[in-house]
Structure 1
Amino acid sequence: MEDKYYKNLEYDKIINFIVEYCDSETGKEKALNIKPYNDINIALKELDKVNEAISFISSYGDIDFSFKNISDILNKARINSTLNAGQLLKISRFLSLSGRVKAYLRNKKDENSYPLLSEYNSRLTHLKDFNEKIDRIIISEDEISDDASPLLKDIRRQKVNINNKIRDTLNSIITSSSKELQDPIITVRDGRYVVPVKQEYRGTFKGIIHDQSSSGATLFIEPMQVVELNNDLRQVELKEQQEIERILIELTKEVSDHVSEIHENMVVLTELDIIFAKAKYSIKTNATKPLFNTNRYINLKNARHPLLPPDKVVPINVYLGDEFDTLVITGPNTGGKTVTLKTIGLLTLMAMTGLNIPADEGSEIAFFDDIFVDIGDEQSIEQSLSTFSAHMTNIVKILDSVSNNSLVLLDELGAGTDPIEGAALAMSILDFLHRIGARTIATTHYSELKQYALKMDGVENASVEFDVETLRPTYKLTIGIPGKSNAFEISRRLGLREDVIDNAKNYITGEVLRFEDIIKDLEEKRIEAERSKQEIEQLKHKINEIKEEYEKKKRQTEAEKDRILEKAREKAKKILDNARIASDEIISKLREAEKSDRKNKLIEEARQKLKENISDLENGLTKTKVPTYTKIPKNIMPGQSVYIVPLDQTGTALSSPDKDGNVKIQAGILKMNVHISNLREAESQEEKDIESGFSTYMNEKSSSISTSIDLRGKNLEDAELEVDKYIDDAYLAGLKQVTIIHGKGTGTLRSGITRLLRQNKHVKSYRLGRYGEGEDGVTIVEIKEK
């Protein structure tokens, strides 16, 4: 496919979006060269990768693939050319990213859910120990850690001691020789400590002159007392540089040993960066996975041009390659014919590139060998070609290269010349493409092509709708009906005299007029049918809403009924239990009466007791009726207690009802929106219980969390997880300051925790411990207020 066809379809703009979504330098570079695949299996696999990435982002969030291109650094390491601290730091950052991505891809519940992303995960190598070693040694681009080696630590200790001796000596000289000095300061010239001496004391002040001021009034002299110390300092600094050089050479050697793994990681991260960029673009455009076929069949459902604003684009439904292989689209200028061509061509290219397309699920794309395009005015002044000649030159190339597995998109076919000859040529070109078996979509203004499509098997008409009342196109595509000219109607709406329009009709043959009238009648019937269909859909939607609301209320009523019956059963059981106890007591009295002299009196007492018990039972049953709640509150104010019927729970109103009647309610620690029809007045005791429960929860949280956490003996990954959760708990509990105990050790744990705290949104500030707090073995963290 020629590059100009990509440009005609604006494919390069889609690629630029993918480039923008890439994070890494290498990802952006490689994405610029993206082209459609020529193998359907590769395209299908790429689509699967992209959709796995979309699912992964939805489940676990996005990840940043940003990294600098380190190819030059790796090439330098291959030839054992010593890397500097800055280059090693870039390697370290890249290795850290590799570890994060590997951990990110490992963050899945089902091992079989993401098989293609798992392949990338298995290709990644996390050089954790080497990465930590670089982090421990390299502090910044121009600073090596004291702990890089025991020798370096010893050398720097010597250096500090010598520096202290020099400064003590010079401070003593400044104090005793203040009149000879221009200023009581210590400075450095040529790497040696000096003091500023007045010119007139040059002969009396003993030392080596290293520099003088521009005026000559001040000499920078190294006092004799510190010459030897400065010499010692230079020697120590040379040893320091030699040890640093040795350390850098050693690290470079280790990079060289791991060059193949690091390079493979860079390849993997670059590919993943592009895959996730495609996924993010798919999410942005609300795209779906297309279905591929090799039957040269296109069926796009509600397809949208991805470069048009989502709120303005009009979706189209278009199919081709089943009952017909050639589609002739007619309609007014600016009616959307060209946009339709570009949408079909661009979405086909996107799918063949492994991208989801902005269309409904179930849309099908044919995998073509070639896509040929003739869109726009390609007139060339330099070549002295007219518009017609330019189009014909392009069409000649297309006809020489087209095959039965080609998609051909032709805009304004045959335009730019005599209408009769142009229409004849257009029909002949369509005949040729039809015989070849290519899938062809052509736009035109010629009425002859409308009739051609009606007569020819395998050729179908389509039209873009135009609203004569508003004189605006609707951009809707209709297959099966040719577009009407609308010239007379538009002229009439614009105020052209009726007699002029009637006279114009005399110049058109009766056959053409009848054809236009048939098209007009078909169009009116189609619009009426479409309107009726929309009304039916709206009614169906409304019925479904009513049905759903009815089902919801039915479920609520059933639930409320079950609760009421359960309470009634409990109360009835209690009444029966009381009756059983009373009955047992009466029977006992009757048996006693049989044996007693006071028989009549005891029987009377039992009869009276039985009567009272029956009365109590009747009263209890009368009271055991369906409880009624108070009426729906007319006005709910924030802070008011309410009973939530569907949940059988009490809550507190956080807002007044909105325009739809929804009230924001807090029930315990949960917040929710509840419609006012589902609310009743709450019992005060339940409200107290809820408030007490929430208060108890927060008090328990506050009292249970410690003001410190001990991480000693843990590895960095486990420690980071514990600290992250601990900071969240401390924030919720309202702690203002906490202590993280990590120990001194190698400093790896401290550095990792520092990086984590720097990114945590609840951390206000942090510092190492002072004397008495644990010094370098702890980090003191100040928590933001809620």
Structure 2
Amino acid sequence: MIYPKNFEQKIGFSEVRRMLADHCLSTLGKEEAAQITFLTDASAIRESLQQTREFRRLLEETEDFPLNFFYDMRTAVARIRIENTHLEEEELFNLRRSLDTINQIVTILNKPKEDIPETDDEDETTNTGAEENAQTAAVVAALRDSNYPYPALHRLADGVATFPNLIQRIDQILDRFGHLRDTASPELLRLRRELQRAEGSISRTLYSILHSAQSEGLVDKDVTPAVRDGRLVLPINPAVKRKIKGIVHDESATGKTIFVEPEEVVEANNHIRELESQERQEVIRILTEITKKIRPYTRELLDSYHFLAQIDLVHARTALAQQMRAIEPEVVDHPHIDWGAARHPLLERIVERIVPLDITLTPEKHILIISGPNAGGKSVCLKTVGLLQYMLQCGLSIPVSETSKTGIFHDIMIDIGDEQSLENDLSTYSSHLLNMKNMMKQASPKTLILIDEFGTGTEPQIGGAIAESVLDKFCQKGAWGVITTHYQNLKHFADSHAGVVNGAMLYDRHEMRPLFQLAIGRPGSSFAIEIARKIGLPEDVIQEASEIVGSDYIQSDKYLQDIVRDKRYWENKRQTIHQREKELEKTMDRYENGLQEVEAERKEILRKAKEEAQALLQESNRRIENTIREIRESQAEKAETKRIRQELKEFSEGVDDIDTKAKDDAISKKIEQIKQRKERHERHQAEKAKRQEKAAATLRQAVNHQIPQGHLQPGDPVRMKGTTSIGTMESIDGKTALVVFGDMKTKVKVDRLERASADKEQQVTKGDAMAERISSYQISQATRKTIDDHKTNFHQDLDVRGMRGDEALNAVQYFIDDAILVGMPRVRILHGKGNGILRQLIRQYLATVPNVTHFGDEHVQFGGAGITVVDIG
């Protein structure tokens, strides 16, 4: 039970609900947010919190999780259950996009973890009794859920129907802009083509009439045809309307212009109207046919949109938790409050800095009596408890520390503020008494009671007595509660009754300001004398008040303040010592973990060192064998060969003798030897490569002297200076030449080319020629694979709408380069109309690309000036 009826407004949850709805992506989620209610089932609350926790992780781990096209199509889907109804184009397009979003989400949430087999339910369950079967089924369900990375979200998506076939069928008749394709039916294609021809004919006729009228001076030079009532007309001056025969359809507001449909195009316009009517009938027929295919799935579609609404709500809960810096705490299935660093989420939005509260209620101390000065934070503390507990039991994350522990209450009742009612003839105190009556009637060990300024509103002595009696009733019923008061008798009651504990809102007596900190275990002082003196109340008035109340009361309040001060001092000392002990334990753990990591790292380094040594040994063996073969071919001395083999054998034996535990020094020495030998080998290879390059350069120079360069012509065999790969010059454009190397064409500056000869390649050494052929083959294969990959993934359309100028230009450059590489003859760039800035930048760049033979606007029916069509030669 939630009491009273306006509980959400009193506690501030109505504002939280509004914030939650603001984070929803569609009306689907907003309706779910409006319907969230107070839950008393711990498992349902845990499930909701786990969904939020998993969704936050899902968004972090998935870059392209679909959060668009959350359209509410439930009304449209419910409507088409009636025969002969149909979805309009926009509805069908929104249905297609939202179904695709559902399909993607379900696919992601139902994707199992890698390398984890699915659990077979039939193998796990046995007929050993209903109770055992239920337990086994629960275990099987838990095992099955553990196969998925997001088990709570998987349970939400489990069994949700997706409709890839419907999506595919809709794609066959709708283009990507949501318009019905011309090819949706042969009849529609015929009608639209005939419409285009008729409209073109009318346009030509109108322009002919217009030009004649302009040449005769009947119409201004800047006049163009207009459309009125769907018919093409000419705007003319009323004075010359008799000189242009036709039908007047409209006139301007000033009366200075009339719109005339020339009689030459009346019949043609009528024909267009007929064609448009036929086109609309064909469109309705097509939409009715596709709707007929959708109609059998309306029930499943509505279930899928309910799932989409739940996903929208989970997303909103996650976004709200991030905004509030809230977490999903541990939840137990009984009343319990153990919160650290609890913050009021609404107060945090309007106050620059708030002091978090540590609040604990246990079965031993289940009623907290909070006392302290006015404006010290008592009411905020009470509202924080009520709001966070209510948020938690509505399945929302709450702003507390990670170590907090929360419980479940079946009732939350609050009495706060002025509840006087003129209609019911209730004073403020009568209203409070009515609330106390209802609370005592409903109170139980699973009830949380929140009362602000308990007992006020009437004469203090009788008000305090009644409050104490009501509090005793709450204790007898085992109710839980947070109660704020200034009454001394309630503070004494807390000290003398089990289950009740005092709490104080701390106050700095020296600076005379509240600290907004809750200290549980001691009562608080109202600091009435000190506050009165601070605000400047006359001292004689303060003195007289002190005499009236009596010295015993003043002294007891002073002693209480001293106790609070001393306890606060020792509490700070205890916290400091506790903090230092924790830091010491962390330091010890860090050193211990560091030693373990160092040991593990040492073992890993030694293992890798041995593996590298073995790898180097194998590589050295291969290289040295090659060297020996070369030595043999050069008729070198056998003694040199023997020496190399002996050195290799010693190296191999040295690596095999490495002990990764007992011979660290030996390992280090061997590793250093390996590095030195590897460096010597690399230097030897580098020197050998330099000698070979020098010999090849000398050879190329000699050949170049023998072959005159002359003037390069298309068809000549050429190479780039400094290389040996030969290509064929295809064409020359100024200082740039197009050269074909194998399967690849490239543009090269003419001054970087030199004429080649087939004889030239034959003069290169046998080893260099073989290496060159191998290198050429590898480059050709890599190039061919790159081109094939680009052809497979290349799309003819590029959408740069919404990009900045530099981003769009960069994207277009890569796009045109890829189009040239894969040999695409025509591509389209979607930049939108707007102010024409993107279009101008893109076309300025296209004008500088030699391979672009033509570019211009797309046809007006397919986007017009918002799309640039590029032809590539």
On whether the aligned pair clears a TM of 0.5, the verdict is yes
Instruction: State the secondary structure of the residue aligned to 1:344.
Output: helix
Paired residue for 2:308, among 253, 261, 269? 269
The equivalent residue for 2:45 is 43
Displacement, 1:129?
Answer: 4.2
The equivalent residue for 1:435 is 476
Displacement, 1:130?
Answer: 3.0
Deviations 1:168-201 (A, max 9, x none): 4555666678777833866666666666899999
The equivalent residue for 1:130 is 166
Query: Are the counterparts in 2 of residues 712 and 741 from structure 1 also a CA contact under 8 Å?
Result: no
Query: Are the counterparts in 2 of residues 123 and 265 from structure 1 also a CA contact under 8 Å?
Result: no
1:113 corresponds to 2:115: no
The equivalent residue for 2:682 is none
Query: Are the counterparts in 2 of residues 739 and 781 from structure 1 also a CA contact under 8 Å?
Result: no
Return 516-525 or 451-460, whichever deviates more: 516-525
Query: Are the counterparts in 2 of residues 83 and 252 from structure 1 also a CA contact under 8 Å?
Result: yes
Instruction: State the secondary structure of the residue aligned to 2:514.
Output: strand
In structure 2, give the amino acid aligned to 1:470: E
The equivalent residue for 2:295 is 256
In structure 2, give the amino acid aligned to 1:268: F
In structure 2, give the amino acid aligned to 1:150: P
Q: Distance in 1 between matches of 2:501 and 2:256?
A: 98
Q: Distance in 1 between matches of 2:563 and 2:347?
A: 30
The equivalent residue for 1:307 is 346
Deviations 1:62-85 (A, max 9, x none): 753553432221122111323222
Query: Are the counterparts in 1 of residues 419 and 431 from structure 2 also a CA contact under 8 Å?
Result: yes
1:54 corresponds to 2:56: yes
Q: Distance in 1 between matches of 2:853 and 2:536?
A: 93
Paired residue for 2:189, among 153, 167, 173? 153
Q: TM-score, normalised by structure 1?
A: 0.67
Displacement, 1:487?
Answer: 2.7
1:96 corresponds to 2:100: yes
Paired residue for 2:434, among 393, 396, 399? 393
Paired residue for 1:351, among 357, 367, 392? 392
Q: Distance in 2 between matches of 1:411 and 1:218?
A: 76
1:368 corresponds to 2:409: yes
Q: Distance in 2 between matches of 1:63 and 1:523?
A: 56
Displacement, 1:706?
Answer: 11
Deviations 1:583-626 (A, max 9, x none): xxxxxxxxxxxxxxxxxxxxxxxxxxxxxxxxxxxxxxxxx9xx
Q: Distance in 2 between matches of 1:506 and 1:209?
A: 104
In structure 1, give the amino acid aligned to 2:72: N
Paired residue for 1:247, among 269, 283, 286? 286
Aligned positions of 1:149-548 closer than 5 A: 149-168=185-204, 182-183=218-219, 209=247, 220=260, 222-223=262-263, 233-309=272-348, 312-493=353-534, 505-508=546-549, 512=553, 515-536=556-577
Q: Distance in 2 between matches of 1:133 and 1:496?
A: 83
Deviations 1:350-381 (A, max 9, x none): 12111222112232333112111111122234
Query: Are the counterparts in 2 of residues 423 and 446 from structure 1 also a CA contact under 8 Å?
Result: yes
Return 500-509 or 49-58, whichever deviates more: 500-509
1:96–1:765: structure 2 CA closer, same or farther, 3 Å change rule? Answer: farther
Displacement, 1:96?
Answer: 3.3
Query: Are the counterparts in 2 of residues 298 and 319 from structure 1 also a CA contact under 8 Å?
Result: yes
Structure 1 unmatched runs, 5+: 571-623, 625-699, 721-726
Instruction: State the secondary structure of the residue aligned to 1:29.
Output: helix
Query: Are the counterparts in 2 of residues 372 and 407 from structure 1 also a CA contact under 8 Å?
Result: yes
The equivalent residue for 2:769 is none
1:248–1:741: structure 2 CA closer, same or farther, 3 Å change rule? Answer: farther
Aligned pair count reads 628
Q: Distance in 2 between matches of 1:294 and 1:710?
A: 57
1:69 corresponds to 2:110: no
In structure 2, give the amino acid aligned to 1:88: L
Deviations 1:643-690 (A, max 9, x none): xxxxxxxxxxxxxxxxxxxxxxxxxxxxxxxxxxxxxxxxxxxxxxxx
Q: TM-score, normalised by structure 2?
A: 0.61
Displacement, 1:517?
Answer: 4.5
Paired residue for 2:817, among 721, 738, 763? 738
Return 347-356 or 123-132, whichever deviates more: 123-132
The equivalent residue for 2:27 is 25
Q: Distance in 2 between matches of 1:743 and 1:81?
A: 47
Q: Distance in 1 between matches of 2:213 and 2:385?
A: 90
Instruction: State the secondary structure of the residue aligned to 1:309.
Output: helix
Q: Distance in 2 between matches of 1:202 and 1:378?
A: 78
Q: Distance in 2 between matches of 1:17 and 1:245?
A: 42
1:3 corresponds to 2:9: no
Structure 2 unmatched runs, 5+: 115-146, 614-668, 670-778, 800-805
Return 541-550 or 329-338, whichever deviates more: 541-550
Deviations 1:517-551 (A, max 9, x none): 44233212212113323544675688789989999
Displacement, 1:114?
Answer: 0.9
Displacement, 1:348?
Answer: 1.4
Deviations 1:752-773 (A, max 9, x none): x9799x9xxx999699998779
Displacement, 1:269?
Answer: 0.8
The equivalent residue for 1:620 is none
Instruction: State the secondary structure of the residue aligned to 1:484.
Output: coil
The sequence identity of aligned pairs, in percent, is 29
Q: Distance in 2 between matches of 1:77 and 1:57?
A: 35
Instruction: State the secondary structure of the residue aligned to 1:144.
Output: coil
Deviations 1:484-515 (A, max 9, x none): 24233444555667787666555455654564
Q: Distance in 2 between matches of 1:217 and 1:317?
A: 78
Displacement, 1:446?
Answer: 0.9
Q: Distance in 2 between matches of 1:306 and 1:704?
A: 59
The equivalent residue for 1:13 is 15
Q: Distance in 2 between matches of 1:459 and 1:295?
A: 18
In structure 1, give the amino acid aligned to 2:295: S
Aligned positions of 1:554-569 closer than 5 A: none
1:364–1:6: structure 2 CA closer, same or farther, 3 Å change rule? Answer: same
The equivalent residue for 1:676 is none
Instruction: State the secondary structure of the residue aligned to 2:348.
Output: coil
Displacement, 1:434?
Answer: 0.7
Displacement, 1:472?
Answer: 1.3
The equivalent residue for 1:604 is none
Instruction: State the secondary structure of the residue aligned to 1:325.
Output: strand
Return 319-328 or 456-465, whichever deviates more: 319-328
Displacement, 1:60?
Answer: 2.4
Instruction: State the secondary structure of the residue aligned to 1:258.
Output: helix
Deviations 1:191-233 (A, max 9, x none): 666668999999998x765658687998946455x66655654
Query: Are the counterparts in 2 of residues 708 and 738 from structure 1 also a CA contact under 8 Å?
Result: no
In structure 2, give the amino acid aligned to 1:160: Q
Displacement, 1:444?
Answer: 1.0
1:713–1:217: structure 2 CA closer, same or farther, 3 Å change rule? Answer: closer
Q: Distance in 2 between matches of 1:346 and 1:517?
A: 35
Instruction: State the secondary structure of the residue aligned to 2:347.
Output: coil
Deviations 1:374-433 (A, max 9, x none): 111222344443322221122122222222321111111111212111111111001111
1:471–1:83: structure 2 CA closer, same or farther, 3 Å change rule? Answer: same
Q: Distance in 2 between matches of 1:191 and 1:73?
A: 29
Query: Are the counterparts in 1 of residues 812 and 842 from structure 2 also a CA contact under 8 Å?
Result: no
Q: Distance in 2 between matches of 1:372 and 1:291?
A: 23
Deviations 1:65-120 (A, max 9, x none): 55343222112211132322222222223223323433554678564221121233
1:212–1:287: structure 2 CA closer, same or farther, 3 Å change rule? Answer: closer
The equivalent residue for 2:763 is none
